[in-house]
């Protein structure tokens, strides 16, 4: 094996964890925390590569969801799954730094970031760190183009209507991913009917295949029968 081949070889994962692409390569990913288009505006510690890691049990459940929606010309797109504790700890420090509001205009324009823990959008302990939680959406097939965001690009509120907020190639879920506000609550009745129906579709599919959602984020689901319900991991995403 050459040095280059060794460098590109996937890391050995803890028992029970897999690369989602090895289980179902048809599932799309957009790993926001490995880049700069996220609520802190920079790569998050612990995310060393734009890959999705999760428990095998959760990955197999997603594969079943993907198989069900494929005949309807839809695909899953995953933003995040396993999250190192190192990343969670970095967000605690970020929330305490009141001088850093780099991405406020898009992701949390109407809340003080120090309140994000109390509001339920981020936590000092995250179910993601147990490996069986996923943030995701639905994308039509054939896959529409996905614009790239670069540091310095204009920021607009993630609660604006589709076509006015940052372009996402997903079906309309009413807000952008990781918008921290009431508009992201799955049962928000003030949203347009299309977005509410799209959220209901996602929730129904995920529940059918063993996941439960939360009350604050339409994109967030945890496998009910997760294999490590009491273990918070801290190995890097690479």
Task: Give the bridge partners for 220, in sequence order.
Answer: 135
For tokens 């120090």, what's the residue?
A: 114
Asked if 61 and 211 touch (Cβ cutoff 8 Å), the reply is yes
Q: Are 30 and 72 in contact (CB under 8 A)?
A: no
Q: Rounded CA gap, 8 and 130, in Å?
A: 26
The encoded tokens of residue 1 equal: 């094996």
162 is written with which tokens? 């589709």
Q: Is 199 helix (H, G, I), strand (E, B) or coil?
A: helix
CA distance 120 to 204: 22
- Give yes or no: 86 in active site: no
CA 199 to CA 173: how far, in whole Å?
Answer: 6
Task: For residue 39, give the 3-state DSSP assignment.
Answer: coil
Q: Of 56, 106, 217, 226, which residue is the catalytic one? A: 217
Catalytic residues: 217
């Amino acid at each position: 094996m050459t040095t280059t081949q060794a460098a590109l070889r996937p890391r050995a994962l803890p028992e029970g964890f897999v690369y989602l692409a090895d289980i179902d390569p048809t599932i799309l990913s957009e790993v926001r925390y490995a880049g700069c288009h996220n609520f802190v505006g920079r790569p998050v510690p612990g995310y060393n590569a734009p890959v999705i890691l999760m428990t095998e049990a959760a990955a197999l459940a997603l594969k079943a969801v993907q198989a069900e929606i494929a005949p309807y010309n839809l695909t899953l797109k995953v933003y995040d799954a396993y999250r190192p504790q190192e990343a969670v700890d970095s967000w605690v420090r970020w929330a305490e730094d009141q001088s850093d509001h780099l991405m406020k205009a898009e992701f949390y324009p109407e809340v003080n970031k120090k309140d994000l823990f109390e509001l339920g959008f981020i936590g000092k302990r995250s179910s993601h760190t147990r490996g069986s939680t996923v943030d995701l959406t639905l994308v039509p097939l054939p896959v529409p183009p996905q614009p790239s965001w670069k540091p310095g690009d204009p920021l607009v509120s993630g609660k604006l209507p589709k076509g006015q907020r940052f372009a996402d190639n997903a079906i309309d879920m009413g807000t952008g991913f990781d918008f921290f506000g009431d508009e992201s609550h799955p049962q928000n009745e003030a949203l347009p009917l299309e977005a509410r129906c799209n959220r209901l579709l996602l929730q129904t599919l995920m529940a059918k295949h063993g996941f439960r959602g939360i009350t604050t984020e339409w994109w967030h689901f945890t496998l009910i029968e997760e294999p490590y319900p009491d273990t918070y991991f801290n190995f890097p995403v690479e």
